[in-house]
Structure 1
Amino acid sequence: MKIKIIIVFLIHIFYNFIYQFIKIYKAMKKNVVFGFLGNVLDQRGKGKRRWKHWRPTIDLCHQPNMPVTQLELLYFPNDYNLLCETVKDIKILSPHTEVNPIEVNIDDPWDFEQVYTFLFDISKNYTFNSEQEAYYLHITTGTHVAQICWFLLAESRYFPAKLLQMSPPKKATLIENNEIEEDDLIALTPCGIMSIIDLNLNRYDKILTRFQQYAHQATELLKSGIATRNPQFNQLIAEIEQVASRSHAPILLCGPTGAGKSFLAKQIYLLKQTNHQIKGQFVEINCATLRGDSAMSTLFGHVKGAFTGANLARTGLLKNADGGLLFLDEIGELGLDEQAMLLKAIEEKQFYPYGSDKPIQSNFQLIAGTNKDLKQAIAQGEFREDLFARINLWSYQLPGLVDRKEDIEPNIDFELARYAKEYGIMPRFNQQSRNAYLNFATSPQALWQGNFRELNSSIIRMATLAPQANITIEQVEQEIKRLNQNWTSTQNSYDDLIPVEIDEFDRYQLEKVLEICQKSNSLSEAGRQLFAISRTKKQRSNDADRLKKYLAKFGLSWEIIHSKNG
C-alpha cells in the first residue's frame, strides 16, 4: 500500500513538472531573425572543408543560449546554390529552426534607396506579433548599405527589433586533418560570440551619463557659464536647449529691452554650430532701424535700378544667412509688406529681391525677438496673424533683471570677467564694496529699467574708474547715486501728469502705475503686470480695460502718457 502511495505521489510530481515545463515553454517568446545571406562570409569552402570555418549565418542558428525559431533569410538570385547549401547545414545543426528564404529583387545592393525601399516593404507587409515573438536584425552579413538600413528601420521602429551581431570565436581552432569524418567535423564546428544591440539608449548607463553631461554643457553654453540660481529661468533654458538641438523651426524670444534676447540668440547659434547642425553665419538686425525702401533692400536685397539711388545690386541679409541663423530683433517693428515677404521666405525657403522677378534660395533658421505684445499688435492691424502663427511655435518670455534678482551676483562676476577679457585688466571689489553694491542691486529700490544691459553699463563705469582696478566703497556709493538719479529723473518726468490736489496715498500708487506704463509697450502688457494676482481669480480678465478706467479717474490715457514719453 505504501509503495502505491509513493508511486502515485511520484506520478503527481512528474505530471506537475511537465505542466510547469509546458507553461514556461509557452510563455517563452520565439526568436525570429531577419538577415542577409553572406556571399563571402557564409561561403567558406566546399564539401567537408566548409565545416572547418566560421560562417555567421550558420553560427547564428548554433547558439545554445538563444535558439532561433525562424530565420527570414534574404538572398540574391545569384546565390541560390549557396542558399540551398546553407539551409541544409542549418537543418543539420539546428533542426528546430525554420528557414524562410526571401529573394532580393533589386539591381544594385549598394544603392541606398533601392535597399531601404525593399526592406521597408518587408516591414510593412510582415505580420509582427511582439507578444509571442522577439525580433532581431542580423547585421553581420550584407553590404554596409544594408547594415545602415537595418539600423534606420530598427531605430524608427518599422522593425520592432533589436540588432544582432555575430563574431568569430576568440581562439578559432583550425582543423587540418582531412581524414576526420564529416559527422565529427560538424560536432567541432566553431561557435562564435553573439552580441545583441538594444537601441533603447536609456538602458546604457554610460551613454545616458554622457548625454546628460552634454546636455549640461549645452545649457551652460546658453547661459555662457553664468551660475543661474533662478529655477524658472533654468527650466526655460533647459527647454530652449532641447529645442535648439532638435529643431530648425523659428524661435520667438519675448521680453523687455535689455533682457538678453540678442545674447541668447548668439548662444543658440554657437550651440548649433558646436553640434554641427549649422554651417552658415550668424546674421543680426534690429528691425526698428529699418524704414521704407531700405527695409526691403536690407532684408531681401535689390537689383540695380530698383529705386532711386540703387546704383548697384545688393545681397540682402536673408541671403547672407543662407545655411545659418538670422536674428530679427524687434520683429514687431517690421512693416506689413516686409512681414508678408518674410513669411514666404520662411515657408518656401525663397524670396524675390526688391525689383526682381527671379527668386533667390536661402535656407536659414529664424530667431525673432520682440518687446511688443504681438497679439495686441495683431488686433491693431500692425502685425500679420499668419506670420505670428508661423514664428510662435516655440515662444519664450525672458524675465527682466528685477524678476531674477538672485541672479544678479553671478551676473556681476560675469560682467567683471568680460571686462577683464576685453581690456586686459581684472577689476575687483573688496568685501565691503561688494556687499554694499550687491545689497543695493537686489533691493526693492533698484529698478533696473534697462535690465542686464543696464547692469553691464554699471559694472563698466565702476571698473573704468577704479584706481588700480580696485572698486572701492566710494565708487559704489557714487554709482548707486548715479543709478538713483537716472531712475528718479524718469519718474519725475511724469510730475506734470499727476494732479496737484491728490492724496499722498494715491500719488505713490499713480507714480508706480505711470512707471510701469512707461516701461511697457502696450496697455495690455502694463495691465497684465499691474493685475497679475487678481487676474488669476477671474474667469475672464480685461487688464487693458481696468487700467484704462483707472487712468481715466485722473484725466489720463495711454496716448497722453506715451506722447509725453516721446
Structure 2
Amino acid sequence: MRNVVIGFLGTQLDMGRRRRWKPTPSLTMHDEFPVERLELLHDNRFNRLAHNVKREIEEISPETEVLLHTLDLEDPWDFQEVYGKLFDFARTYGFDEDRERYHVHLTTGTHVAQICWYLLTESRHVPARLIQTGPPRGENQPPTFDVIDLDLSRYNLLQQRFDQLAREYSDQLKGGIETRNPIYNALINRIELVAGNSNEPILLLGETGTGKTELAERIYNLKLDRRRVKGRLVHVNCATLNTPDAVATLFGQRRSYAGQAGSERGGLLREADGGVLFLDEVDELSPNVQSILLHAIETGRFYPLGSDHEVSSRFQIIAGANRDLRALTAEGRFRPDLLARLNMWSFALPPLRERREDIETNLAFELARAERDLGTQVGFNSDALDTYLRFARDPATQWPGNFRDFGGSVRRLCTLAPRGRITRAMIDEEIETLRRDWHSSSTDHDARLVASVLGSAVDDIDPFDLVQLAEVIRTCRRSSSLSAAGRSLFAQSRARKTTRNDADRLRKYLGKFDLDWDAVSAP
C-alpha cells in the first residue's frame, strides 16, 4: 500500500532555507513512514514558495512524488469558505483505498483548516488518518511524527468515563440511594437526559410524599453542574398564593403601590432570574394567577404591581402537582394553555407501595440522615429489623403518606431509641401508631367522600358499608363508564361467574343506596 499525504503549504513555517525545521519537508524524513506521494495545497500567491518546497523535498526524498494544487482562499479563517473548498476537493479527488493509504497533515494551515480536515476525515469524506508533526525534541533527534487515530470505538477507557459520569448524574438524582425499582430507575435515567440537555419546563406528578420537592432540588443541582443555569433555585408553594398579596409575592411591588410606603418587593420571579423557579403544588394556583404566570413564563417579562414598566427575568421551570392536571383542566379549574406549557416533559413518580424493593435501601438512608441530625448512632436489633421490614413490605401496608410517612416513622424510632438501639417492642408500638393514624385518616376521608354524594344520609350508613361504598365511588370517578367501573371492582369474582354483566351488578349495588352512575361519577 502506497502512503499518500495531503496537506497545506506552510506559508510561514515552510519559508526560508535557514530554518532548522520545516513541517512539510520533514514529512519525508521518517524511514518508518515512506511518502510515495505528497499532495500540496497552496494559494496562488505563494506559488514560488510551493515550487521551492517541492524542489527541497525532491532533494531529500527523490522517491516522493510532489503534486501541487492551487486552492485560493480569500479568507483562510472563514469556516464556510475553507470547508466548502476542501469538501469540493475531496469530492473530485478520486480516492483509491484498495491501493493507497491516505493521510492528512494537520500541522500546516490555519486552525480553521485543521478543524475542517478533522470534520472531513471523521465523516469519511476524506478516507484518511491525521498526521501531526513537530520540531526535534533535542540535539541529533529526528522531527516528531504522530498519527492520530479517529476510531472512537477503540477507546474503551473514554467510553467507560462517559458511562461513569452518566451513573454519577443518575446517583445524584437518586440522592445517593441505590434504588432497585426498574420503573423508578428508568424514570431517573430519562430525567437525567432531559435535565442535562433541555431548558424546557419539567412537570413532576405524584401523590403527596413521593419525593417531588427533593427531586426538584436534585434536578436543579444537576443543571447547575452541567452549566444549564447560573442562578438560584426559588421554591414557590403555590398553595399559599391564594391570598390578596399573591401577585405581589410573585411579580413584585413598587413602593408607591396603594400608598404603602416601604413595602417595595422584588418578587420571586425576579429572584429566579438565571436560575430555576420551582412551582410546588402548581395545581393549587388560582385562575387569575395562572393567567399572569403563563405570560411571564412564555415571554420572560411582566409588570410588578404599581409599575408602568415591564421587567424581565429569564428562568427555567420545574412544577410539581399532586392531582391530575388534565382532570382539573376538564373541570375548568386549570388553564389548558398553562398545562400545555408545563407539560413539555412530564414524569409521574411511583408511590412507595409500588417501590417495596427500595424500602431497605431507603431505611438505611433515613437512618443515616437521622444520625446526622440527632448526633448519635442508632441501629436495629435483628428481630426488630426483621419485623419492621416485614411490615413495611407487606402489600397490606399502603403507606398513604409515602416517603413522608416512612421518614417520619424512622425518625420517631431513632429519637426514642434507648442507648441507640431500636427494639422489637418499639417496632410493635410504632406499627400500632401508624395503623391507628391511617385508619382514622382513612375513615374521615371515606365519610367525607360518601357525604359528598349522600349528604346527611351518611349518618345512617354502617361503618362496614361506609368503607365499601367509598371505594366504589372512588373507582367510578376514575372510570370512563359504568361497565369499566364494574370490571375493575369485580375483577376477581367475575372469573367464577357464568354471566359477566359487571355493569348490572354495580347498578344493583348502587341501587341499595338510591344511587346511580350519574350521582357517583361526577366529582
1:264 correspondence with 2:221: no
The whole-number CA distance in structure 1 between the counterparts of 2:485 and 2:10 is 70
Which residue of structure 2 lines up, in the alignment, with residue 194 of structure 1? 146
1:367 aligns with 2:335: no
Once the two structures are superposed, the pairs formed by residues 332-351 of structure 1 within 5 Å of their partners are 332-351=283-302
CA 318–37 in structure 1, closer or farther in 2 if over 3 Å, else same: farther
Q: Which residue among 72, 76, 79 is the counterpart of 1:103?
A: 72
* Counterpart residue number, 2:23: 56
Question: What is the match of residue 22 of structure 1?
Answer: none
Q: Hey, what's the Cα distance between the residues in 2 that align with 1:235 and 1:228?
A: 11
Distance 1:259 1:129, change over 3 A: farther
CA distance in 2, matches of 1:295, 1:68: 79
Note if 1:472 corresponds to 2:423. Answer: yes
- In 2: Cα distance, 1:250 partner to 1:150 partner: 39
What's the counterpart of residue 78 of structure 2?
A: 115
Q: Is the 8 A contact 1:70 1:100 kept in 2?
A: no
Contact 1:73 1:102 in 2 (8 A): yes
Q: 1:425 to 1:149 in 2, by over 3 A?
A: farther
Q: Report what 2:496 is aligned to.
A: none
Instruction: Indicate how the Cα distance of structure 1 residues 509 and 309 shifts in structure 2: closer, same or farther if over 3 A, else same.
Output: same
Residue 108 of structure 2 corresponds to 141
Distance change >3 Å, CA 432–CA 334, structure 1 → 2:
same
Deviations 1:437-477 (A, max 9, x none): 11111112212111111111111111112112221112111
* Matching residue of 2:174: 223
Gap change, CA 1:324 and 1:101, over 3 Å in 2: farther
**Aligned residue runs from structure 1 range 125-524, under 5 A:** 128=91, 132=95, 138-143=105-110, 147=114, 164-168=130-134, 192-198=144-150, 201-291=152-242, 293-307=244-258, 309=260, 311-493=262-444, 494-495=446-447, 497=450, 509-513=468-472, 523=478
Q: What whole-Å deviation, never above 9, does each CA across 1:49-96 have from its counterpart, x for those lacking one?
A: 56xx4433344577775968784736595x564344345556775755
Distance 1:463 1:125, change over 3 A: same
Aligned to 1:82: 49
1:376–1:524 CA contact under 8 A, matched in 2 = no
Give the number of equivalent residue pairs. Answer: 492
Change (3 A) 1:463 1:380: same
Cα deviation for residue 525 of structure 1 reads 11
What is the SS of the residue equivalent to 2:199? coil
Cα 1:476/1:278, change in 2 over 3 Å:
same
Are 1:41 and 2:32 matched, yes or no? no
**Are 1:230 and 1:406, in contact at CA under 8 Å, matched by a contact in 2?**
yes
Deviation of 1:559 (Å): 8.9
SS in 1 for 2:230: coil
Cα pair distance change 1:297/1:31, threshold 3 Å = farther
Counterpart Cα distance in 1 of 2:463 and 2:93: 77
Of the structure 1 ranges 426-435 and 126-135, higher mean CA displacement relative to structure 2 is found in 126-135
SS at match of 2:390: helix
CA 256–501 in structure 1, closer or farther in 2 if over 3 Å, else same: closer
Report if aligned partners of 2:275, 2:315 keep a CA contact under 8 Å in 1: yes
1:208, distance to aligned residue in structure 2 (A): 0.5
Q: Percent identity?
A: 37
Q: Would the aligned equivalents of 2:207 and 2:351 in 1 still touch at CA under 8 Å?
A: yes
Q: Does the CA-based 8 Å contact 1:303-1:310 persist in structure 2? A: no
Residue 19 of structure 1 corresponds to which residue in structure 2?
none
Task: Give, in whole Å, the separation in 2 of the partners of 1:154 and 1:69.
Answer: 20
Following superposition, the deviation at residue 357 of structure 1 comes to 4.1
Pairwise CA distance, 1:409: 1.1
Question: What is the SS of the residue equivalent to 2:266?
Answer: coil
Once the two structures are TM-superposed, the CA of residue 102 in structure 1 deviates from its matched residue by 2.5
Residues 312-356 of structure 1 show CA distances to partners (whole Å, capped at 9, x for unaligned) of 332222221222222111222223444344444444443333343
Query: Secondary structure of the equivalent of 1:372?
Result: coil
Q: Secondary structure at the match of 1:323?
A: coil
- The question of whether the paired residues in 2 share the 8 Å contact of 1:222 and 1:241 is answered with yes
Question: Are the aligned partners of 2:367 and 2:410 in contact in 1 as well (CA < 8 Å)?
Answer: yes
Cα 1:495/1:313, change in 2 over 3 Å: closer
Q: 1: distance between equivalents of 2:280 and 2:220?
A: 15
Segment of structure 1 superposing worse, 64-73 or 411-420: 64-73
Q: What amino acid does structure 2 have at the position aligned with 1:116?
A: F
Paired AA for residue 14 in structure 2 = D
**Alpha-carbon distance, 1:129 to partner:** 7.9
Report how far residue 488 of structure 1 moved: 0.8
Distance of 1:526 and 1:256 partners within structure 2: 24
The alignment partner of 1:167 has SS state of: strand
Shift of 1:510: 3.5
Equivalent position SS for 1:353: coil
Q: CA deviation at 1:404?
A: 0.4
Provide, for residues 381-439 of structure 1, a one-character-per-residue CA deviation record: whole Å limited to 9, x for no partner.
Answer: 33333333333222111101011011111111111111111221222111111111111
Distance 2:417 2:166 in 1: 39
Partners of 2:462 and 2:424 lie apart in 1 by 40
Are residues 429 and 239 of structure 1, via their aligned partners in 2, closer, same or farther at CA, if it must alter by over 3 Å?
A: same
Displacement of 1:489:
0.9
**What per-residue deviation string (whole Å, max 9, x for no partner) do you get for residues 130-152 of structure 1?**
9957887654334556656766x
Deviates more, 1:312-321 or 1:471-480: 312-321
Of 69, 73, 79 in structure 1, the residue corresponding to residue 41 of structure 2 is 73
Residues 166 and 495 (structure 1 numbering): CA distance in 2 closer, same or farther, change over 3 Å? Answer: closer
Q: Which amino acid aligns with 1:223?
A: K
Q: Distance in 2 between matches of 1:337 and 1:495?
A: 33
Quick check: 65-74 or 466-475, which moved more? 65-74
What one-letter code is carried by the residue in structure 2 that aligns with 1:247? Answer: S
Matched AA of 1:269? Y
User: Could you tell me whether the CA contact under 8 Å between 2:443 and 2:467 is conserved in 1?
Assistant: no
The code of the aligned residue for 2:107 comes to T
Q: Which is further off, 161-170 or 357-366?
A: 161-170
Give the aligned residue type for 1:279: K
8 Å Cα contact 1:330-1:369 kept in structure 2? yes
- Whichever residue aligns with residue 183 of structure 2, its letter is Q
- Cα 1:328/1:466, change in 2 over 3 Å: same
Aligned-CA RMSD value: 4.4
Whether the aligned pair in 2 keeps the contact of 1:513 and 1:530 (CA below 8 Å) is no
Q: TM-score, normalised by structure 2?
A: 0.78
Shift of 1:499: 8.9
Aligned-residue offset at 1:127? 6.3
Shift of 1:311: 4.4
Looking at structure 1, the residues matched to 67 and 487 of structure 2 have their Cα atoms a distance apart, in angstroms, of 73
